[in-house]
Amino acid sequence: MTGAGAADPSGRLIRVGLDVGGTKIDAVAVDPAGDIRGRLRRPTGWGENAVVESIVTAVTALAEESGFPISDVGSVGIGIPGLVDAESGRVDHAVNLGVESLDLAARAEQGLGIPFRVENDVKAAALGAAVLSGVAGSMAYLNLGTGVAAGIVIDGRIWRGSRGTAGEVGHLSVDPRGRLCGCGQHGCVETFCGGGALAKAWGRPGALPIRDIFDAADAGDPLAMGLRDDLYHGAAAAVRVLVLSADVETVVIGGGLTALGDRLENGIRAALHAGAEASPFMRSLRLDERIELLPAGSPAAAFGAALVGASITEKEIVPHG
């Protein structure tokens, strides 16, 4: 029970959430009890028109496959990468989607006649992870995927900061002599534990480069062992900065790299433990006991988007009735 799916004043019961990624859309339908009633994945279109079209199609397909009429959908929330203006529902610079600037909420609403709300994908995932993990109070969600970013949830609400930058720990430089980051700095956390940066540093072909690195490290390959250590230390640095700056109780780790499961979690835990050894202060924080890994394939991001959509106020909903 989350209360997220409570019926809105128009009597529409279902909240839809979409996590729009570079290659696929993960869509969930959430019922009034807060349970996921249907889920599907569809490819994402490239470019502004195709992105809108694939979102509209995902919502209609989800309704059809889950067996409810589209008229039962009270709201749609979208989590999408890029610079998101949550107030206006506008997305800028979503480079992985071929989107330069898009009035996403307005365009999608035109297509379906349902109110839409848009949020940055990691922030939406943070909200979903908080509810699915049952974390009350304060938590951070650390997303380890191609890139690295975090979302912070305080008392059930996304903490945005003054310019929406809160949680951008991937671009904290921890080694000025380190690898060049896509952002222009050297030695960002993302160059240590971002899947994209690690795959580039590994430089060998393969569909699952991070798994290859781990397997090669297990077999004693020195380059792979170094990169695996980088991953552990980069993720540990991200956890440290989240707890030291926001004092969150728990850091929930999600994103594509969670497919590595225990190998990832145990390594980050060990790096946190080792990093605190010389410091009574850091030891007292017990950081290694404050991380949690989402199960691979968790619907946290799409579920969080549904929660974002459900926060549409009564005033916003009525005009579409």
Stretch of residues binding Zn ion (CB under 5 A), selected from 109-117, 167-175, 281-289, 299-307? 167-175
Q: Which of 131, 99, 132, 136 is nearest to 118 (CA)?
A: 99
168 φ, ψ to 5°? -80, 55
Nearer to Zn ion, 185 or 311 (CB): 185
- Nearest approach, Cβ of 174 to Zn ion (angstroms)? 10
* End-to-end CA separation in angstroms for the chain: 27
Tell me whether residue 95 or residue 136 sits nearer to Zn ion (CB atom). 95
Q: Minimum distance between the CB of residue 190 and Zn ion, rounded to whole angstroms?
A: 5
Longest CA pairwise span in the chain (Å) = 63
* Strands 138-144 and 250-254, bridge-based pairing: parallel
Closer of 178 and 304 to Zn ion (Cβ): 178
Residues 250, 292: contact at Cβ < 8 Å? yes
| 172 burial via Cβ count (<10 Å: 0-12, 13-18, 19+) | middle
Which of 171, 240, 269, 290 touches Zn ion (CB under 5 A)?
Answer: 171
DSSP letter at 191 equals H
Least separation in angstroms between residue 188's CB and Zn ion is 3
Task: Kindly state whether residue 183 participates in binding Zn ion, applying the rule CB under 5 A.
Answer: yes
Amino acid at 100: E
In the stretch 108-127, what mask flags binding to Zn ion with x, by CB under 5 A? --------------------
Output the smallest distance, CB 193 to Zn ion, in A. Answer: 12
If one asks whether residue 149 binds Zn ion (CB under 5 A), the answer comes out as: no
Q: Are the CB atoms for 80 and 116 separated by under 8 Å?
A: no
DSSP state of 143: E
181 lines the binding site for Zn ion (CB under 5 A): yes
Go through 140-158 and write b for each residue having 16 or more CB atoms within 10 A of its CB, e for each that does not. bbbbbbbbbbbbbbeebeb
Binding flag, residue 290, Zn ion (CB under 5 A): no
Residue nearer to Zn ion on the CB measure, 143 or 250: 143
Task: Candidates 16-24, 46-54, 62-70, 173-181: pick the segment binding Zn ion (CB under 5 A).
Answer: 173-181
- Residue choice 188, 246, 291, 308 for contact with Zn ion (CB under 5 A): 188
- CB atoms closer than 10 angstroms to residue 187: 18
- Closest CB to Zn ion among residues 183, 225: 183
Tell me how far, at minimum, the Cβ of 6 lies from Zn ion, in Å: 40
- Contacting positions for Zn ion (CB under 5 A): 171, 181, 183, 185, 188
